[in-house]
Structures are given as C-alpha cells and as structure tokens.
C-alpha cells in the first residue's frame, strides 16, 4: 500500500508518516503533484490558515492533480484538520477563500456556529459517528480524539457528515463522500484510536 | 466536553532524562526516546519535554533530537527550555513540537507571548510559571530552572500572560516539586480562579488522590507529574482510572 503524504508546506508530517508506517504503509512524502500518480492513498494534512493553504496548493499545481486523482480516478483521500476544511467549497477565515469543493460546504468560525466556549477548541473531545461509517470501524461511540481548531466545516448535504462532536454547539468532526474522507481532529495525535482511523482509511475498499 | 489530561513531564538534561527535588539534586532516570515510546503505549494524553539546562547554558533544545522525539509521539508534544525568540519557536514547531513552553525569556520580553500567539495561534503557547513560596506565605516567580528570583507575583503574572495570548499556564511549585507530598493546592486554586485559560498543575504529585484534588479542589484542567511515574509503581493509566472513579471526565482507553 503506497500512501502519498502531500507536502505543500503546511505543518509537520513526521507523526502522520510514522503512524502510517507503523501500520505497514509505504509512505512517500509527495513534494510534487506527479508523485501522486502511483500512490494508492492520498493524505492531505495541514495546520495553518485556509487561504494560505489553498494558495500553496494552487501555486504547487496540486489542485488539478488532486481533482484528477480523487474525482476522476476515485483515489481515496484523507484530509486532516485544515486538510479536511479544504475539501469543502468556501471558507470565511480572514476573507473569503475558495476550497477544493470535493464535498460542498463552507468553513465558518466556531462562534458563528453558535459556540460560546473558548476558541480555539483544543484538547481531547468525544466523537459520535453515524453507524456504518467505515472510517470508524472498530471504534466505540464517544471515543476521544485530539482537536485543535477555530473553524469548522458545515456541509451542504447532511449525508456527507460522518461524525459530530459537541463543543458549545454541534461541530462536524468528520465528513465523507465515496472515496473522500476528512477528519477535523488529528488522528496522528490521537494515540491508538487515531491510529485505528488511519488503519481504517488504509483498509477502505470501495463497494 | 474537553477531558482532564494526565501529562508526564520529561526533564531532559544533556543526553538523558533526570528528575530532582525542589529543582535540585538531579537523578538520572533514563533515555528520552524509549521513555516517549513507553508513555505512548500507556495512553498518556500529552507529553511535556523540558531541556532544563537550555536557559542556563543559553541554547534551545536540539531540534534534530526534538524531530526524532516528535515522530515517535502520537499525542501532543510540548517542548520547552531556553526559548528566547520567535525563530527558535519556529524551528521547534517545524521539528514537530505541537506547543512550546516559555518561561525565563518572558520576564525580559513578555511581548514574545503576543508575537508567538499571533504567528502560530494561542494553542501553541504554554507559559510555564515556577512559583516559589516565600516565608511570609506569598509567592514569587523564579526563572532559569528555579535559579533566579524575578520578584514577579504569579497571580498577576499569569493574568498578564493570558491577556498577552498564552493558551495555557503550566504552574509548578518549586517547593513541592519532586517531594511527592502533593501539589500546592492553594497556589493552583489562586491562579486557576484568576485566569480563564487552562492551568496545568505541576510539582508534588505523590499519589492519585493528589491529582484528583488538584482538579476537584483547586480547579486544574490537567495534571502534570514526573517522580510518581519515574520512581513508583503508579502509572498514567492508573491515575486516569482513579480520576474516572472520582467522577472526573478523562479520555477513554482504546486498544487496537
């Protein structure tokens, strides 16, 4: 199993890489869109602001390559944190920014979603998923995962929501549509339960 | 609801980990990387790694080592020691630290907190306060691994740090540290009631009840400990089980 970890300059890839390697994956740090071609799985990580992330994807020529691999060739992709947010269509973080729009929706600040608790939402919090969501295979309901974010995704089609988390409001903590997956939490920092998520992503087979 | 965290503190000196009493008489307790691996397998919620010689000797934690450590760490990793400017913070975060812990530098340059929070987000910035209790029962902040009295009062200092953008306060009692006689609950309670950001209790945990007390009596959002895990049979998992029994929300255990 060859996994391309997309290195577009937003955040450290070390622990995602090690977690995937522990699971037996052959991880390539993709520095160029051509490196996605022979991968079986794509991972889009990311820490930082939406606008900066999209600009780097655009300048690096990643957007076309991702569209081709994910939409045309149905290659499974996992977006983590900012990576999940960029799967949606639009973000309001520091102005309006267009996303990849693989799963239509927009990204809003938590207080605009009705959250009156401290922002950013940082720490271990419970994730409740919809039954039958393959990404959460073997994981008990209300398991804790590690979150660090100030913005969250609101998808257009509720069927794309695979998990939610309560933090002063209902936060979308995972989304999926066919071969496209996103987690707002950080599986690579969520200890063994996070590793199970990554394993489920590697084990995913389209039906 | 966010969970109350149990955080082992790893004190790094030269090539290995040490633990002292009252910031003195350091004992070697083992190598860094295997310890990180063990704690990961035991489901700790976070790790704090502090290079205790860094601020005194004027360097920051070696980022190549930090990079090696962070890659083996599947929970959030905080790195501290000798951090005096923004470019050092950048290099440690690039090496894979999730947060940095700032202390000594802030007494001369408190604006570093504003700058770090502005550039990397408040979640990356932990302000570490080493509080010394004076004979008159008041407190004062010490810097440089407990070697210099700054004559700053910890409550006001914690509040100022919050206002400047600190994401959390790591509050260590110099007197209680390493004694395993319990946290300084009065200190923790005073600081925790003054600020709205999470306060991590540190210094003195000797049994699970001490950790429960830090949370339920003093309002700590997390408990840090070292000696109890290095020198006794007690473990982070045991601590979490005891806290759970006491009704404290802790992260659930998961085995693959």
Per-residue pLDDT of chain B (256 residues; tens, 9 = 90+): 899 999 999 999 988 999 999 998 899 999 999 999 999 988 899 999 999 988 888 888 888 999 999 999 999 999 999 999 999 999 999 899 999 999 999 999 999 999 999 999 999 999 999 999 999 989 999 999 999 999 999 999 999 999 999 999 999 999 999 999 999 999 999 999 999 999 999 999 999 999 999 999 999 999 999 999 999 999 999 999 999 999 999 999 998 8
pLDDT at B81: 95
Q: Which residues of A touch B243 (CB under 8 A)?
A: none
pLDDT at A207: 65
pLDDT at B60: 85
Is ipTM > 0.90 here? yes
Distance CA A146, CA B73 (A): 13
Cis check for the bond before B243: say yes or no (omega within 30 of 0): no
Q: Which residues of A touch B47 (CB under 8 A)?
A: none
Cα A50 from chain centre: 13
Residue A81 designated active-site = yes
Going from the C-alpha of B121 to that of each of A53, B102, B118, B164, B201, the distances in angstroms are 16, 14, 6, 12, 22
Secondary structure E strands in chain A: 2-6, 26-30, 41-44, 77-80, 90-91, 97-98, 105-109, 121-129, 143-149, 151-155, 161-166, 170-177, 180-183
**CATH number, residue A158:** 3.40.50.880
Residue B180 contacts residue B228 (beta carbons within 8 Å): yes
Chain B (41-80) residues lying within 8 Å, Cβ to Cβ, of chain A:
43, 45, 67, 70-76
Residue-range definition of the domain harbouring residue A197:
2-203
φ/ψ (deg, to 5) at A103: -130, 105
Query: Does the CB of B167 have a partner CB in chain A at under 8 Å?
Result: yes
Inter-chain touch A12–B43, beta carbons under 8 Å: no
Inter-chain touch B5–A124, beta carbons under 8 Å: yes
Cα A89 from chain centre: 14
Greatest extent of chain A over all pairs of C-alpha atoms, in Å: 45
What one-character DSSP code corresponds to residue A70?
I
Catalytic residue among A97, A121, A149, A186: A186
End-to-end CA distance of chain B: 24
Q: Which residues of B touch A18 (CB under 8 A)?
A: 71-72, 74
Residue A188 designated active-site = yes
Instruction: Centre a 10 Å sphere on the Cβ of residue A24 and count the other Cβ atoms it contains.
Output: 9
Chain B (86-145) residues lying within 8 Å, Cβ to Cβ, of chain A:
93-96, 98, 121-123
Inter-chain touch A12–B94, beta carbons under 8 Å: yes
Query: Does the CB of B256 have a partner CB in chain A at under 8 Å?
Result: yes
Domains and CATH numbers, chain B: 5-245 (3.20.20.70)
Give B27→chain A minimum CA distance, Å.
29
Which chain A residue has the Cα nearest residue B46? A189
Distance CA A32, CA A72 (A): 19
Residue A149 designated active-site = no
Residue B127 contacts residue B160 (beta carbons within 8 Å): no
* Structural domains counted in chain A: 1
Give B170→chain A minimum CA distance, Å.
15
Instruction: Write the DSSP assignment of B3-68 as a string of letters.
Output: PBEEEEEEEEETTEEEEEETTEEEEEEE-HHHHHHHHHHTT-S-EEEEETTHHHHT----HHHHHH
Nearest to A14 among B1, B67, B252 (CB): B67
Residue A121 contacts residue A115 (beta carbons within 8 Å): yes
Distance CA A25, CA A28 (A): 9
Q: Residue B131: which H helix or E strand, with range?
A: strand B125-133
User: 3-class SS at B115?
Assistant: helix
Give A95→chain B minimum CA distance, Å.
17
Going from the C-alpha of B122 to that of each of A207, B48, B118, the distances in angstroms are 43, 17, 7
Inter-chain touch B254–A196, beta carbons under 8 Å: yes
Tens of each residue's pLDDT in chain A, 207 residues: 999 999 998 878 988 999 999 999 999 999 999 999 999 999 999 888 999 999 999 999 999 999 999 999 999 999 999 999 999 999 999 999 999 999 999 999 999 999 999 999 999 999 999 999 999 999 999 999 999 999 999 999 999 999 999 999 999 999 999 999 999 999 999 999 999 999 999 999 876
pLDDT at A206: 77
Query: Does the CB of B220 have a partner CB in chain A at under 8 Å?
Result: no
What residues of A are in the B interface, CB distance below 8 Å? 12, 14-15, 17-19, 118, 120, 122-126, 138-140, 142-144, 146, 148, 150, 166-167, 188-196, 199
pLDDT at B127: 98
Inter-chain touch B67–A199, beta carbons under 8 Å: no
């Amino acid at each position: 199993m060859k996994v391309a970890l997309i290195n577009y300059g937003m955040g450290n890839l070390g622990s995602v890489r090690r977690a995937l390697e522990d699971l037996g994956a052959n991880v390539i740090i993709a520095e160029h869109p051509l490196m996605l071609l022979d991968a079986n799985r794509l991972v889009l990580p990311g820490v930082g602001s939406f606008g900066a992330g999209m600009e780097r994807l655009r300048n690096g020529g990643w957007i076309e390559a991702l569209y081709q691999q994910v939409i045309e060739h149905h290659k499974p992709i996992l977006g983590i944190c900012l990576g999940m947010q960029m799967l949606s269509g639009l973000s309001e973080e520091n102005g309006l920014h267009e996303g990849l729009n693989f799963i239509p929706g927009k990204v809003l600040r938590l207080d605009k979603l009705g959250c009156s608790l401290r922002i950013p939402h940082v720490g271990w919090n419970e994730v409740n998923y919809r039954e039958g969501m393959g990404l959460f295979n073997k994981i008990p309901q209300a398991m804790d995962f590690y979150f660090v974010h100030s913005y969250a995704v609101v998808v257009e089609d509720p069927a794309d929501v695979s998990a939610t988390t309560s933090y002063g409001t209902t936060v979308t903590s995972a989304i999926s549509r066919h071969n496209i997956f996103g987690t707002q939490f950080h599986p690579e920092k969520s200890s063994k339960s996070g590793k199970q998520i990554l394993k489920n992503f590697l084990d995913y087979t389209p039906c | 609801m966010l969970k109350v965290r149990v955080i082992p503190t790893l004190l790094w000196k030269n090539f290995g980990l040490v633990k002292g009493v009252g910031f003195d008489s350091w004992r070697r307790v083992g190598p860094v990387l295997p310890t990180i691996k063990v704690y990961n397998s035991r489901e700790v919620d976070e790790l704090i790694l502090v290079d205790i010689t860094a601020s005194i000797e004027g360097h920051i934690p070696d980022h190549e080592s930090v990079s090696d450590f962070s890659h083996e760490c599947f929970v959030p990793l905080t790195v501290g020691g000798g951090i005096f400017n923004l470019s050092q913070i950048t290099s440690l975060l690039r090496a894979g630290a999730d947060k940095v812990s700032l202390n000594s530098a802030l007494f001369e340059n408190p604006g570093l907190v504003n700058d770090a929070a502005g550039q990397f987000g408040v979640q990356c910035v932990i302000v570490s306060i080493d509080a010394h209790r004076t004979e008159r029962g008041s407190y004062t902040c010490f810097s440089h691994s407990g070697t210099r009295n700054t004559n700053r009062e910890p409550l006001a200092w914690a509040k100022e740090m919050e206002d400047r953008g600190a994401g959390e306060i790591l509050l260590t009692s110099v007197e209680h540290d390493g004694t395993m006689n319990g946290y300084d609950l009065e200190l923790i309670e005073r600081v925790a009631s003054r600020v709205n950001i999470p306060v991590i209790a540190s210094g003195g945990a000797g049994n699970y009840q001490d950790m429960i007390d830090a949370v339920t009596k003093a309002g700590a959002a997390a408990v840090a400990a070292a000696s109890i895990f290095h020198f006794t049979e007690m473990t982070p998992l045991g601590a979490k089980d005891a806290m759970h029994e006491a009704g404290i929300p802790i992260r659930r255990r998961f085995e693959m």
